[in-house]
Amino acid sequence: MEEVTEGINNLSVNADSYKKNRIQVSNTKKPLFFYVNLAKRYMQQHNEVELSALGMAIATVVTIAEILKNNGLAVEKKIMTSMVDVKDESRGRPMQKAKIEILLGKTENFDELMAAATERDAEDGEEQN
């Protein structure tokens, strides 16, 4: 089991769990589409992305994965759920939190869809000028 320590505003996980294509999602820190766009960028760079979340942020991770799948950009490769021990600083005792990890891979037409979206964005920018 991974050991996770949670302070008042920070969450730190063991350094060995760091992966360059992993996004640890919080439901309070960034807007939803920040994570959607970051996931797209990670898939461009690494061909796959791992979305990870604890507790209440699990719903956000599932939403991000569904947006990417429904737009034809990602396919689900693996879903892992577990419970992790979290040290609750405010109560001074350990507690368990649900954890989810969703591994998504690029679809065959990912690059094509991204290029089309980039082209549309450029055209929209020209129209506004």
Burial group, residue 114, by CB count within 10 angstroms (0-12, 13-18, 19+): middle
Q: Cα–Cα distance between 50 and 53 in angstroms, integer?
A: 10
- Written as one letter, the residue type at 118 is T
Copy the structure tokens of residue 36: 């959607």
Q: Cα–Cα distance between 127 and 112 in angstroms, integer?
A: 23
- Cut 0.85: pTM above it: no
pLDDT bin (cut points 50, 70, 90) of residue 78 is: very high
Copy the structure tokens of residue 88: 């609750």
CA torsion sign for 77, 79, 84, 87 is positive
Domains and CATH numbers, the chain: 3-128 (3.30.110.20)
Dump the DSSP string for 108-128: TTHHHHHHHHHHHHHHHHHHH
pLDDT bin (cut points 50, 70, 90) of residue 91 is: confident
pLDDT in tens, 37-77: 999 999 999 999 999 999 999 999 999 999 999 999 999 99
Contact between 37 and 43 under an 8 Å Cβ cutoff? The reply is: no
